[in-house]
Amino acid sequence: MQVAVVRDASVQVIVALEAAGRSKATIKRHQAEFNAFAGFLEARGRVLPSEADCLDFIAERSGSRLAGLREPTSCERARLARRPLLLLMEALAGGAPLVGQATTPPVDRCPARFGAVRDEYLGACQRRGNAEATVVSKQQAADQFLVYLEEVGRETIAEVAARDLAGFWARRQRRGYAPKTTGLLRSSLADFLRYLHEGGQIQEDLAGRLPPQRYPRRGQSAPHPWTAGEVRLVLEQIDRQSAIGKRDYAMVLLTVRLGVRVGDLRRLELGWFDWRAKTLAFTQHKTGLSLRLPLPGDVGWAVIDYIRHGRPETVCRQVFVKHRYPFTAFGSSTSAGCRLSYYARRAGIVFGAGRSHGLHSLRGALAVAMLQSDTPPPVVTAVLGHAAATTTAAHYLRLDTEHLRRCALDVEDVLVALEGARS
């Protein structure tokens, strides 16, 4: 009888996983854990599992003993064994399994002594009208710095000095973060330090002590030269039967066919699509310029398929949402751009050193395809939504190697011309 009770609850969880768009591999892994847990309970002669039974099962499967089901742990195997059990216990308790909900309470990394200062700062950021993702980035930067202050023995914010900032920054630099990541930390930390100085909480404006952030010069970091065959391979890797696959397929198509930036993908709303005119119109987040693009049939149907059969029920206005409760829009800290890299790895595509290969790199592929089909540069500029043609020329004309090859000069002709100039 006890096996039937657990199996019925596990079926309810599997249905919830399918409705949330989890992959076949994830569902299969959950089912394997449920089968093993049912056998574990049967051997113990248990009708209904208790938390102690769950903890014993997790310890048997992972070799890691947890004090509670929601205790934070760094053991990956324990987390994999625990997640299905949490959903199962919710189903056995008569509730709906909350797929995607955090398994452990959120951890506030800010030291308690600095908590009030940090919270006041975040409140000021929200009153300024900072976006939610911006506030999250600023909180992470402030928390990292405040944790360091506690480690070096600072009791109050007023004790903070330039040597603390220098020590914190030196530690960060040793970890070898990418320039863009370091630049985001620098700007967020500078804002926090400036707030503390303007509020009289620290005497010196330490924001001016932060080192300047230097990004690679234009041309040193080029996007991966996507071919039509590689793009096709990536699209074939996407499971279009799952809800997440429907979302990712539509997002990749919008980028590779229309050149929509990742920032605009995250913001897309259903009202921006004109299905009768087959166009997509919106104001670009980066430039503030309006853009109207034709909507090819395959792109439009991919978006419709996701909205009708993949998108979870949510009050979020954005078309593309995270498939984790509470189903909110993508933020900059959880960028949608990483999805392309995931499918590229599955397709066996190898990226060259120093080559960018996120969703934004597909804009380069679109620009090159248009230029090689002899599309006039002003049209390419309009489609990509650039404010000026010089932007298109600086970033994308250099990628059109076929046309650049036609402009190559013969070495002998150059030497003859130089000799003639000298004489």
Element (H, E) at 236: helix 228-237
291 beta partners: 282
Say which range, 14-28, 145-159, 172-186, has the weakest mean pLDDT.
172-186
pLDDT tens profile 8-35: 888 999 998 888 777 788 889 899 999 9
Name the strand (E) or helix (H) holding 280: strand 279-283
Q: Letter for the amino acid at 278?
A: K
86 vs 367: which has the higher pLDDT? 86
The edge-to-edge listing of strands for the beta sheet with 290-294 is: 273-274, 279-283, 290-294
- The tokens for 222 are 């080029």
Please give the structure tokens belonging to residue 12: 């309810």
pLDDT at residue 413 in the model = 60
The alpha helices in 311-422, defined as continuous H runs, are 338-346, 361-372, 377-384, 389-395, 401-406, 411-422
Mean model confidence pLDDT for the chain: 81
pLDDT band at 42 (very low <50, low <70, confident <90, very high): confident
Q: 333 pLDDT band (50/70/90 cuts)?
A: very low
Q: What is the pLDDT of residues 237-254, one digit of tens each?
A: 888 888 888 999 999 898
Query: What is the token pair recorded at 353?
Result: 């050193």
CA separation for the pair 364, 351 (Å, rounded):
15
Tell me what pLDDT residue 219 has.
Answer: 44
Q: Tell me which residue has tokens 């969703």.
A: 359
Q: Is the pLDDT of residue 214 over 70?
A: no
DSSP annotation string for 206-268: GGGGSPPP-PPPTTTS-B----HHHHHHHHHHS-TTSHHHHHHHHHHHHHHHH---HHHHHH-
Question: Maximum Cα–Cα distance for the chain, whole Å?
Answer: 103
Task: Name the nearest CA neighbour of 255 among 235, 233, 276.
Answer: 235
What is the model's pLDDT at position 416?
64
* SS3 state of residue 356: strand
Torsion of CA 261, 262, 263, 266, to 10 degrees: 120
pTM value?
A: 0.57
Question: The tokens of 182 are what?
Answer: 């370091």
pLDDT at residue number 395:
62
The kind and range of the H/E element at 290 are strand 290-294
Give me the pLDDT at residue 16, please: 87
For the purposes of burial, counting CB atoms within 10 Å of the CB of 138, is it exposed (0-12), middle (13-18) or buried (19 or more)? buried
How far is it, in rounded angstroms, from Cα 312 to Cα 300? 19
Q: Which pair of tokens denotes residue 10?
A: 């596990």
Answer whether residue 193 shows pLDDT above 90. yes
Rounded Cα distance, 319 and 329, in Å: 8
Is the pLDDT reported for residue 338 higher than 90? no
Tokens of 282: 């919106």
The pLDDT tens digits for 132-147 are 778 888 999 999 999 9
What number of H helices and E strands is found in the chain? 18, 3
Number of neighbouring beta carbons within 10 Å of residue 325: 14
Cα end-to-end span (Å), the chain: 103
> What tokens were used for 394?
């600086």
